[in-house]
Amino acid sequence: MRIAFVVARVGDERNVIQRLSLVLAAELRKLGDTVDVFPFTRGKLFSFLSYKNLRNYDCVLVANVGLQCAYFSIYKRLRLIRKPFIAISFGSDIRATNNRLINLFNRISKPALDLLIVINPDLVAIGEKRGYRQVKYVHSWASALP
């Protein structure tokens, strides 16, 4: 399977999410998948054609329902990308229900996401309450962090 994996803050050592995402990408490759990581920065917001690269994959995987997820979700909602979208939530992106920015990113992303994978069991109820169509829980693979 060819997977486009959108990850923000790649290289930021303080950010556990990007470290877990890179571990996952490496493990999926071991299972035979082609995984290309698309580092997302705020500068990408103005690369209006960057979505075209995502068309060559079987699915788009996004680490966290943050700005990066909302951004590419807009392209899917405009039908410029016709691929399944899967987001992995690490908690901070959906848990705070009184954070306006988080709520905005969730509102934009939700209709575009075919599946929300969560790595904390309490996030299943939170994701469903937010109205996600499909929410699945898997254990965290943080044990693989070096």
Footprint of other proteins on this chain (CB under 8 A)?
Answer: 1, 3, 13-14, 16, 19-20, 23-24, 27-28, 30-31, 33, 58-59, 61, 82-84, 86, 88, 114-115, 117, 119-122, 134, 136, 138-146
Structure tokens at 34: 């082609």
| Least separation in angstroms between CB 27 and other proteins | 4
User: Phi/psi at 97 (nearest 5 deg)?
Assistant: -85, -10
Closer CB to other proteins, residue 45 or residue 138? 138
Q: Tokens 């999410």 — which residue? A: 17
| Least separation in angstroms between CB 106 and other proteins | 19
Strand partners, 14: none
| Least separation in angstroms between CB 41 and other proteins | 22
| Least separation in angstroms between CB 47 and other proteins | 25
Q: Tokens 């329902």 — which residue? A: 65
Cα angle: 94, vertex 47, 7; to 5 degrees: 35
Closer CB to other proteins, residue 45 or residue 101? 101
Closer CB to other proteins, residue 14 or residue 49? 14
| Least separation in angstroms between CB 103 and other proteins | 18
Closer CB to other proteins, residue 30 or residue 46? 30
Closer CB to other proteins, residue 48 or residue 79? 79
Q: How far apart are CA 2 and CA 32, in angstroms?
A: 10
Q: How far apart are CA 132 and CA 146, in angstroms?
A: 33
Q: Which residues contact 110 (CB under 8 A, 6 or more apart)?
A: 130, 131, 132
